[in-house]
Chains A and B, each alone.
Chain A
Amino acid sequence: MLSKKQLLTKGMLDIFPHMLSVIPFGIICGAIGVELGFNPYLVYAMSFIIFGGASQIVFLQLISGGASSLVAVTSVGIINSRHLLYGAVLSEYLEKLSFIKRLLISYVIVDQSFSESNKFFKTNKTEQNLHYHLIGTGCTLWLCWQISTLSGIILGSFVPEELGLKFAIPLTFIAIVVQDLKKIDHVVVMITCGLSSLLFFDAPFKSYIIISPIIALFVASLLLRIKK
Chain B
Amino acid sequence: MTWLSIIIAGVLTYLTRMTMIVLVRRDMLGAKFKAVLEYVPSAVFPAIIFPAIFINDYGLFVEINDPKIFGAIVAVIVGYFSKNIISTILAGLLSYWFLIFVVFS
Contact = CB atoms under 8 A, between A and B. Distances in A.
A181 B42 CA distance: 9
B40 A85 contact: yes
A201 B56 CA distance: 12
Contacts of A51: 10, 13
Nearest to B101: A162
Interface string A94-109: 1100010011011101
B96 A164 contact: yes
A213 B16 contact: no
Given A63-B5, A175-B88, A87 B52 contact: no
Contacts of B32: 221, 224
Nearest to A68: B5
B12 A76 contact: yes
A92 B30 CA distance: 12
B13 A55 contact: yes
B2 interface: yes
Contacts, number: 263
A109 B22 CA distance: 13
Contact of A177 (B18, B42, B68, B90): B42
A93 B68 CA distance: 37
| Count class of interface residues, chain A | 35 or more
B49 A194 contact: yes
A22 to B, nearest CB: 11
Contact of A213 (B24, B43, B92): B43
Contacts of A165: 93
Interface of B: 1-10, 12-14, 16-26, 29, 32, 34-37, 39-55, 59, 61, 68, 71-72, 75-76, 79-80, 83-86, 88-90, 92-93, 96-97, 100
Interface of A: 17-18, 20-21, 38, 42, 45-46, 49-52, 54-55, 59, 63, 69, 72-73, 76-77, 80-92, 94-95, 99, 102-103, 105-107, 109, 111, 115, 118, 162-181, 185-186, 189-198, 201-202, 208-209, 212-213, 216-217, 220-221, 224
